[in-house]
């Protein structure tokens, strides 16, 4: 199966849910045009409270549609955009990427993966138990965060459902994804 964009979403407000759009425009070094999290410096409220001048490593949030299917099978009523993601993907192991991997989307867009989305209690406001459902433990007890990945826009452009996605890993040694 080839990797594709399933849905795109953006919201000008700091709400968890983002309405699905026909297209979004990504701006290099900033993020998703018109999204509350767009900017060179942090925009997520919890991060702004710590250091408002810190670089925004969370310009774009991507979630894999396979997670949404897993959640629906566990009886969570979840659709694209509801967990705050800008891009819903299919056919790519987002969580298996390395820090610095680049996603080439459509004709022009390049997103560099900066790390994992750290699930927060706001997910439980969508549906009770959702936060616990996007966290697992490996057989060795290591915490597994399944709520997608974050990235920065290297090359901007338009992203639409149906666009192809091609991942390019950075040079080894690979740095595993960590929460950003």
52 - beta bridge partners? none
Residue 124 is predicted with a pLDDT of 94
pLDDT tens across 65-116, in order?
999 999 999 999 999 999 999 999 999 999 999 999 999 999 999 999 999 9
Residue 160 is predicted with a pLDDT of 98
Percent with pLDDT over 70 in the chain? 99
Assign 125 to helix, strand or coil: helix
Question: Please, are residues 88 and 80 in contact by the beta-carbon 8 Å criterion?
Answer: yes
Task: Taking residues 110-130, report their average pLDDT.
Answer: 95
pLDDT tens across 142-171, in order?
999 999 999 999 999 999 999 999 999 999
Q: Is the dihedral of CA 16, 85, 148, 25 positive or negative?
A: negative
Residue 71 is predicted with a pLDDT of 97
End-to-end CA distance of the chain: 29
Residue 45 is predicted with a pLDDT of 80
Please choose, from the candidates 175, 177, 4, 2, the residue with its C-alpha nearest in 3D space to the C-alpha of residue 89: 4
User: What is the rounded CA–CA span in Å between residue 150 and residue 58?
Assistant: 5
Residue 48 is predicted with a pLDDT of 84
> What's the token pair of residue 100?
């610095």
- Examine the pLDDT at 120 and tell me if it is beyond 90: no
The residue whose two tokens read 């709520």 is 147
Rounded to a whole number of angstroms, the CA Rg of the chain reads: 15
Task: Taking residues 59-70, report their average pLDDT.
Answer: 98
**CATH 2.40.33.20 holds for 4-168:** yes
Average pLDDT of the chain to the nearest whole number: 96
Residue 1 is predicted with a pLDDT of 66
Least confident of 7-11, 18-22, 102-106, 135-139: 135-139
Q: How would residue 15 be classed by pLDDT, with cut points 50, 70 and 90?
A: confident
Least confident of 29-38, 39-48, 70-79, 159-168: 39-48
């Amino acid at each position: 199966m080839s990797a594709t964009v399933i849905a795109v979403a953006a919201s000008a407000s700091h709400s968890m849910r983002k309405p699905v759009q026909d297209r979004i425009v990504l701006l290099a070094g900033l993020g998703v045009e018109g999204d509350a999290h767009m900017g060179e410096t942090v925009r997520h409220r919890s991060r702004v409270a710590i250091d408002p001048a810190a670089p925004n490593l969370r310009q774009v949030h991507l979630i894999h549609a396979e997670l949404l299917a897993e959640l629906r099978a566990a009886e969570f009523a979840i659709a694209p955009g509801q967990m705050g993601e800008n891009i819903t993907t299919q056919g790519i192991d987002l969580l298996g990427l390395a820090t610095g991997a680049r996603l080439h989307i459509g004709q022009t867009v390049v997103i560099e993966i900066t790390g994992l989305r750290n699930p927060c209690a706001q997910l439980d406001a969508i549906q009770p138990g959702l936060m616990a459902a996007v966290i697992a433990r490996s057989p060795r007890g290591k915490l597994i965060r399944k709520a997608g990945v974050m990235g920065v826009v290297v090359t901007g452009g338009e992203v639409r459902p149906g666009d192809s996605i091609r991942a390019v890993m950075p040079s080894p040694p690979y740095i595993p994804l960590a929460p950003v």
